[in-house]
Structure 1
Amino acid sequence: MTDVDALRHDIAAACRVLAARGLADGILGHISVRIDADHLLIRCRGPRERGLAFTEYADIRLVNLDGEGDLTGGYRPPNELPLHTEVLRARPEVGTVVHAHPPAVVAADLAGIRIRPVVGAFDIPGARLAEGGVPVYPRGVLVRDRRLAKEMTAAMADRPVVVLRGHGLTAAGDSPAQAVLRAISVDTIARMSLAVVGAGGTLVDLPAEDMAELPDLGSGFNEATAWRHELARLGGTAPV
């Protein structure tokens, strides 16, 4: 396989992980990977669209920043292609953009609950991500053009994840694995926060001295091992 061929398989698997984790139920959500300054691979919709849980290699297409490219067979880029392309334009360090619709993230934000470092060793990468701040784009719109995408990207600033009010989230990373794992961490904190508040509790940030004690377990554990786990959760029934 060429590198592009391998990436198409990687993106398809990452889409299925999003669905398996409940972050992209139904037919909504997409993942892109930068190929060069003018091209990206992105999860497109075809005539046999069945949702992210059933993403196949053929659903991942190479297009330019205007959405033109390998679209044979009735495929088309997602309406929110600009959501991806504006992040890639604005942030050259980003290799992957993930857009998903986690219900818990939407519910927590609508309830006024921000993603905060309320956990510690339960999810160390998630705690670190939350400690740095997870901004909110306060418009519940379809990010379908460059104007709206620029607004979202400005709200995201230099952070790895932005919550989209009444909509979902956008996550960025070096790879599909890293970006999806970041989205999962934000979803986990949102779920836990809703559970704590729903039980009558009060959310309290992890004390600074405890945060300082959290070790960096390294990308080999935090990402490589965690991603093998996510892929293993898919089992042997997913399409390839």
Structure 2
Amino acid sequence: MGTTTMDLEAVRHDIADACRVMAARGLADGVLGHVSVRVDSEHLLVRCRGPRERGLAFTEPADVRLVNLDGEGDLDGGYSVPNELPLHTEVLRSRPEVRSVVHAHPFAVVAADLAGLAIRPMLGAYDIPGAHLAAGGVPVHPRAVLVRDRRLAAEMVTSMGDRPVVVLRGHGLTSTGDSPAHAVLRAISVDTLARMALAVANAGGTPVDLPDADLAELPDLGSGFTESTAWRHELARLSGAE
């Protein structure tokens, strides 16, 4: 894919929307978290910090900059790439099927992991995409470090394996997808499962996986519903809050 074959301005808007949804959903508080999209084999668009940084909830398309895998590129005007850019670039280097990478700090996901509660397929029709995601396994990266270089990012990628989401212990999560919307919706599902696990544990119960027979009955509702419709809802929530 060449940089001229993609509508970069449209993707900037998609990334800005994704950042704002993450903030609205409580996945990334304050100025933490970022979203990227692969442009070609050497470049990505990524949410950067600028001189008027106000946090993810106020992300504008101008905050999304085109850089190469080493973090060099369109950074005029006082912009800088995220400290954890290698988290994005190492996933893109090693996972050619991934188009978008999201990094977030959802409180419930971190709390559930620290409490020893894994992300398990305990919900059924409540969140069908989340059930299927959890059934495939959500690995945990055991290091609570700032993923600031390729060595540390490679360790995270190893923990992630071929799964779409990895929990970062004492830190947050990294989610992937075909688009920013896809990656953020996966992160929302993981957050939902973590919140439910914490609620069950707080009520004195023990989270239990769905029976295989029930999991097998959960249909694939198709990306038109699970992604397109769900994302329109997220964007409508943003509009309603403004």
**Shorter-chain TM-score tier:** over 0.9
* Cα distance in 1 for residues equivalent to 2:123 and 2:240: 33
Match of 2:102 in 1: 98
Match of 2:150 in 1: 146
Shift, 1:110, TM fit: 0.3
Aligned counterpart for 1:65 among listed residues 47, 66, 69: 69
> What root-mean-square deviation, in Å, do the aligned CA atoms of Structure 1 and Structure 2 show?
0.9
Match of 2:208 in 1: 204
Residue 167 of structure 2 corresponds to residue 163 of structure 1:
yes
Residue 128 of structure 2 corresponds to residue 124 of structure 1:
yes
- Pairing of 1:5-24 with structure 2 (within 5 A): 5-24=9-28
* Cα distance in 1 for residues equivalent to 2:21 and 2:202: 28
Unpaired segments ≥5 residues, structure 2: 1-5
Letter in 1 for 2:18: A
* Cα distance in 2 for residues equivalent to 1:97 and 1:215: 26
Secondary structure of the equivalent of 2:125?
coil
Letter in 2 for 1:140: A
CA 212–236 in structure 1, closer or farther in 2 if over 3 Å, else same: closer
Shift, 1:237, TM fit: 6.4
| CA offset digits 1:141-193 (Å, max 9, x no partner) | 00000000000000000000000000000000010010000000000000000
Runs (4+) of structure 1 moved beyond 2 Å? none
Letter in 2 for 1:125: P
Match of 1:50 in 2: 54
* Cα distance in 1 for residues equivalent to 2:73 and 2:102: 20
| CA offset digits 1:89-147 (Å, max 9, x no partner) | 00000000000000000000000000000000000000000000000000000000000
Secondary structure of the equivalent of 1:74?
coil
Residue 28 of structure 2 corresponds to residue 27 of structure 1:
no
Secondary structure of the equivalent of 1:98?
strand
Residues paired across the two proteins, number: 237
Match of 2:3 in 1: none
* Cα distance in 1 for residues equivalent to 2:220 and 2:71: 39
Residue 90 of structure 2 corresponds to residue 89 of structure 1:
no
* Cα distance in 2 for residues equivalent to 1:137 and 1:27: 23
* Cα distance in 1 for residues equivalent to 2:42 and 2:219: 39
Secondary structure of the equivalent of 2:36?
strand
Residue 239 of structure 2 corresponds to residue 235 of structure 1:
yes
* Cα distance in 1 for residues equivalent to 2:211 and 2:35: 35
Unpaired segments ≥5 residues, structure 1: none
| CA offset digits 1:13-35 (Å, max 9, x no partner) | 00000000000011100000000
Query: TM-score, normalised on structure 1?
Result: 0.97
Secondary structure of the equivalent of 1:114?
coil
Aligned counterpart for 2:8 among listed residues 4, 17, 21: 4
* Cα distance in 2 for residues equivalent to 1:106 and 1:50: 24
Secondary structure of the equivalent of 1:122?
helix
Residue 150 of structure 2 corresponds to residue 175 of structure 1:
no
State, as a whole percentage, how many aligned pairs show the same letter: 78
Letter in 2 for 1:22: G
Secondary structure of the equivalent of 2:239?
coil
* Cα distance in 1 for residues equivalent to 2:77 and 2:212: 54
Letter in 2 for 1:222: T
